[in-house]
Amino acid sequence: MVTPVTPCLPPHPLPLNNDTTHHHHRRLLHYLTQCTSISHLKQIHAHTLRTSPTQHNSHSLFLFSRILHSSISYDLNYAFRVFDHIEEPNTFMWNILIRACAHSSDRKKQAILTYHDMLSSGASVGPDKHTFPFVLKACAYLFCLSEGKQAHAQILKLGLDSDVYVNNSLIHFYASCGCLDYARDVFEKMPERSVVTWNVMIDALVQAGEFESALKLFDEMQSSFEPDWYTLQSIVNACAGLGALSLGMWVHAYVMKICDSNVADGVLLNSSFVEMYCKCGSLEIAEQVFERMHKRNVTSWNSMIIGYAMHGQAEAALDCFARMVNEGFMPNSVTFVGVLSACNHRGMVSEGRKYFDTMITDYKIEPVLEHYGCLVDLLARAGFIDEALDLVSNMAVKPDVVIWRSLLDACCKKNAGVELSEEVFKKIIELEGGDCSGVYVLLSRIYGSARRWNDVGLLRKLMSDKRVIKQPGCSSIEIDGVAHEFFAGDSSHPQTKEIYALLDTIEERLESVGYVPDFSQAPLVDELEHGKKHSLRLHSERLAIAFGLLKAKPGVPIRIFKNLRVCNDCHNVTKLISSLYDVEIIVRDRARFHHFKRGSCSCLDYW
C-alpha cells in the first residue's frame, strides 16, 4: 500500500517581493490540489495569511477563493470562518457559500440568510445568474414562498429573467411550493427553453396530479427536443397516475428500442415500469418486467409488493416480501406499507398484527400514519372496532382524516352504533372542514339503518345549508389509446344512444338470471325505489363497461378507472356481466383493483 506524501510547507514564511509572488501563489495552489485533510488545509491557509497580508490583488483573491472552496469539502463552519476573514469577498465567493448551504441537508435556511447578507453587505458586488438557482433550491426545499418571490423580484430587477438556468429554477421553486400557475407563467414567458425546462415543467405537472396536462406537454416537447431519461421517468409516472396503459407501453418500447442498455436496464426506470403496469391494471406485465430485471433495489421490491397488494394478491405480496428478505434486502417503511396493505385488502387480521409488530421490534421502524392507517382499517373492517379505537388513542402521531374516515366506514358497515358514529363524524369535520360529502352520506346511512329519519332530514338540511355537493362518480376507459370519460348519468358521449341501448339489453339479461338491485348504498337524494334503480343503472362504471363491451376487441380485458369506491350493487352487477358476456373486467377504484372474471372478483367480496 502506497501512503500519499503530504507536501511540506516551509516552517516560516519567506520574504516575498513582486517577482516571486506569482510563483509563490502557484506553489500554494499546487499544494491545494494535493490537499487530503482539514489539518493540511489549515496549514496552507495559515501560510497564505502570513505570506499574503493583502487581498486586494486578483492573484490573492483567487487563492483565497480556492481555499474557501476546498474548505467546504471538509467543514462548512470552517469555510464560514475563512470567508469572514476575507476583506472584500466577490460574488464568486458568496456563491460558493450559498451553494454549499443549499446542497447541505441541514443548512438550507443558512443559504437564504447568506443571500440576504450578500444583499445587505453594502459591497459593490451583488448576486448574478449563478446565485439564484441555489437560493431558489433552498426556498423550494423549505417552502419559503415569500423569500422565493423576493428573489424572483431581484431576478427581474437585474434583467436575468431571460436566463434558462434561472428560469428552470423558478419553475421548480414555484411547483414545489404548490404554485403551479406561477410555474406555468414562467414557463410560457421563457424566450428560450432547454430539455431541462420541459422536464421540470412535465415533472411539476405530474407531482401536482395533472397527468393529462403532463402528457399534452410531452407531445409539444417532442417537436423541439428528444426525450431523455428524466423525461421518460416523468411520463411513466404520469401514465401510472392516469392509467394510460397504451402510452406507458409505447414509452417502454421506446426505451427498449432507442436507449442504450445502461438506461434500458436501469433499476430506477424499470422499477417505475413495474409500478406503472401495476397501476394500469396489467399485473402480469409488471411481474415480467420485475423478474427480468438484472439488478433490483429496495424500490424495485416495494413496487412489486405494493402492486400485488393493490390487486388483492395478498399471498403473492407476502411471498415477495419473504423473497426480498431472503435475498438480503433490508425492508424500509414503504415496504411495510405494502405488506400491511396486502393484509388489509384480504382481511388478514392476525398477519397484519404480526407484521406491524415485526416492523417495530425486528426492523426498528417507527410507525407513521400510513402504517397506522392500514392497521386501523384492517381491524375496523374486520369488526374489531374497539381494538381499532384503542390503537388510534395510543398512536405516537396524531390521527389524520383518512384514519377517522376508515372508522366511520366500518361503523356504517358493522352497525357500530349511532353515538360512536357521530363522534367519529365530528372528528372528520374538524379536520377536513364542512364540504366532505362522503362522510355525510355515510352518517345518513347510519341514521337510516337506525330508522332515525328525522336525523336524516336534518343532515340533508345541513348539507344544503353548507352547500355540500356529493362528488360525482367518474369512470374512464381506454380504447385504442384514446381515453373516454363518463360521469354518472352521462349523456354527452357521441355514442350515447348505442351505450344506453346496450344498458337496456344488459338489464334484461341481469334480470333473467335473478339479479335484485342492492339499494343499501343508493344516493342520499333518491326517494323512490324506481328512482334508486334508475340511478344505480347509470353509475359511471356501468356506462364505461357498456362502452367497453361495444368497442373492446374480443379477448382483451376491459379496464375501468373510477374516482370513487365501487358500490355494492355495481360490484354484484360487474361480476354477473363478466359471466354473462365471458369477459374479464378490471376496475381500479379509489382504494384498490378488482378483477372480475367468470362471475367472481379477486377481492372475494371483501373491500
Q: Kindly tell me if the per-residue pLDDT of 442 is higher than 90.
A: no
Q: Is residue 365 included in any domain, yes or no?
A: yes
Q: Which of the pair, 441 or 213, is modelled with greater confidence?
A: 213
How far apart CA 236 and CA 280 sit, in angstroms, is 11
Q: Is residue 150 included in any domain, yes or no?
A: no
- Which of 120-134, 296-310, 478-492 holds the top average pLDDT? 296-310
Claim to verify: residue 500 and residue 582 sit in the same structural domain: yes
Long-range contacts for 75-79 (Cβ within 8 Å, ≥24 apart)? 75/38, 76/100, 76/101, 76/104, 76/107, 78/38, 78/42
The lowest-confidence range among 7-11, 198-202, 480-484 is: 7-11
Cell of 91: 460574488
Claim to verify: residue 451 and residue 484 sit in the same structural domain: no
Task: Report residue 106: phi and psi, to 5°.
Answer: -130, 15
Claim to verify: residue 495 and residue 578 sit in the same structural domain: yes
Which residue from 585, 470, 453 is spatially nearest to 522, judged by alpha carbons?
470
Claim to verify: residue 453 and residue 482 sit in the same structural domain: no
Dump pLDDT digits (tens) for 97-144. Answer: 999 999 988 899 999 999 999 998 876 788 999 999 999 999 999 999
* pLDDT number for residue 88: 81
- Which of 30-44, 82-96, 320-334 holds the top average pLDDT? 320-334
* pLDDT number for residue 543: 96
pLDDT band at 2 (very low <50, low <70, confident <90, very high): very low
Q: Is residue 278 included in any domain, yes or no?
A: no
User: What proportion of the chain, given as a percentage, has pLDDT over 70?
Assistant: 88
Q: Is residue 171 included in any domain, yes or no?
A: no
How far apart CA 188 and CA 33 sit, in angstroms, is 44
pLDDT band at 24 (very low <50, low <70, confident <90, very high): low
* pLDDT number for residue 432: 78
* pLDDT number for residue 187: 97
Claim to verify: residue 459 and residue 483 sit in the same structural domain: no
Which residue from 582, 605, 606, 584 is spatially nearest to 595, judged by alpha carbons?
584
Dump pLDDT digits (tens) for 337-363. Answer: 999 999 999 999 999 999 999 999 999
Phi-psi category of residue 475: left, alpha or beta, with phi > 0 → left and psi -120 to 50 → alpha: beta
Give the domain-ending residue among 408, 430, 465.
465
pLDDT band at 67 (very low <50, low <70, confident <90, very high): confident
- Output the CA torsion sign for 306, 312, 313, 317: positive
Claim to verify: residue 521 and residue 571 sit in the same structural domain: yes
Q: Kindly tell me if the per-residue pLDDT of 245 is higher than 60.
A: yes
When pLDDT is averaged across residues 552-566 and rounded to a whole number, the result is: 92
Give the domain-ending residue among 399, 432, 454.
399
pLDDT band at 87 (very low <50, low <70, confident <90, very high): confident
* pLDDT number for residue 3: 42
SS3 of 181-197: HHHHHHHHHCCCCCHHH
Q: Is residue 450 included in any domain, yes or no?
A: yes
Q: Which of the pair, 281 or 59, is modelled with greater confidence?
A: 281
Task: Please tell me the total count of domains within the chain.
Answer: 3
Q: Is residue 245 included in any domain, yes or no?
A: no
* pLDDT number for residue 6: 45
Q: Which of the pair, 234 or 68, is modelled with greater confidence?
A: 234
Give the domain-ending residue among 345, 365, 399.
399
Q: Is residue 31 included in any domain, yes or no?
A: no
* pLDDT number for residue 1: 40
How far apart CA 352 and CA 375 sit, in angstroms, is 7
Claim to verify: residue 597 and residue 482 sit in the same structural domain: yes
Per-position b or e across 31-50, b if 16+ CB within 10 A of its CB: bbeebeeeebbbbbbebbee
Q: Kindly tell me if the per-residue pLDDT of 534 is higher than 60.
A: no
* pLDDT number for residue 476: 94
CATH number of the domain bearing residue 353: 1.25.40
Claim to verify: residue 494 and residue 595 sit in the same structural domain: yes
* pLDDT number for residue 324: 98
When pLDDT is averaged across residues 81-85 and rounded to a whole number, the result is: 83
Q: Kindly tell me if the per-residue pLDDT of 32 is higher than 50.
A: yes
Q: Kindly tell me if the per-residue pLDDT of 435 is higher than 70.
A: no
Claim to verify: residue 385 and residue 457 sit in the same structural domain: no
Residues of the domain holding 456: 421-465
Where helices occur in 35-103 by DSSP H, the ranges are 38-51, 58-72, 76-84, 91-103
Claim to verify: residue 319 and residue 431 sit in the same structural domain: no
- The DSSP output letter for 215 is H
Average pLDDT of the chain is: 87
Claim to verify: residue 550 and residue 585 sit in the same structural domain: yes
Claim to verify: residue 553 and residue 484 sit in the same structural domain: yes
Q: Is residue 586 included in any domain, yes or no?
A: yes
